[in-house]
Amino acid sequence: MAFLDELFATLWSDHAALTPQAARLHQLLRERGDAVRIDHVALLTFDLPGVEIEALDRAFVAHGYQAAQSYELPAAGLTAYHYEHADDARRPKLLLGAVLVDELSGPAREIVRGLVGRVEPGASAHPLFAASGRRWTLSSSDYRILSEENQHAAWVAAFGFRAHHVAVDVGELRTFEGLGELDRFLEQHGFRIDQAGGAIKGSPDELLEQSSTLPDEIDVELSDGALRIPSGCCVLARRYPGPDGTLYQGYAAEPAARLFPAAGLG
């Protein structure tokens, strides 16, 4: 599985450069003596031909990943799928989401279609397409139009094809009793936990708890100069066993905000 190792390593190194807090969080956990395991890697795209979810999942599916469940997320204007590796349960799960472009306003829809129209034909055939970044130019005015309407659309427009977030498997950590203790530890080290709807979303009864940090802001070069905008966040996921004793792997009970934390800063 050398290719998958390369693809995930590329996604992680790019994400760490885009989201400085991610590498720092992993370092802090390792300094405590924890081994950091990834629960899932999430990517976002638009539901347009040539860049749709099937374009992002192609290389993963070719190397053993299978779609496990689909999710309709109308409040976020997204559709999504989660994937698991057929032969290796230790591989990170994938969470692939697509912005529903036809549900955007006319001006926003026109901006997105214009951006995707600049992607060279056949680009998604490249094995590392899912980690290829932004493949178009973007103006600050177009970014602001998208950001005011749909933060996920604005995120894809600004950053392109790469990891939206990389979630830590809290159940694999041995120096914390639970997600609440981990959140408090991170706050003591300067991280800001997203408190919208409560720091911890979900519950043991739902078989999944998640929290996330607020995103970093970074300078992004746009066609008319640099703009400081939210980039990525860190997601922390703790899974619980179901009635059959096996660890829950899905997201069925999760509202949209838990699957793809919004890029806005609180």
pLDDT tens for each residue of 129-148: 999 999 999 999 999 999 99
With both helix axes pointing from N to C terminus, report the angle between 106-116 and 151-159 in degrees, rounded to the nearest 10: 20
Average pLDDT taken over every residue of the chain? 93
pTM: 0.94
Q: Give the mean model confidence (pLDDT) for residues 55-78.
A: 94
pLDDT band for position 126 (cuts 50, 70, 90): very high
CATH number for region 2-245 = 3.10.180.50
197 vs 10: CA distance, rounded Å: 33
The pLDDT of residue 263: 60
Instruction: Kindly state the tokens that stand for 181.
Output: 């203790």
What digits encode the pLDDT tens for the residues 4-59?
Answer: 999 999 999 999 999 999 999 999 999 999 999 999 999 999 999 999 999 999 99
The pLDDT of residue 266: 39
Instruction: Kindly state the tokens that stand for 241.
Output: 């066993």
The pLDDT of residue 265: 44
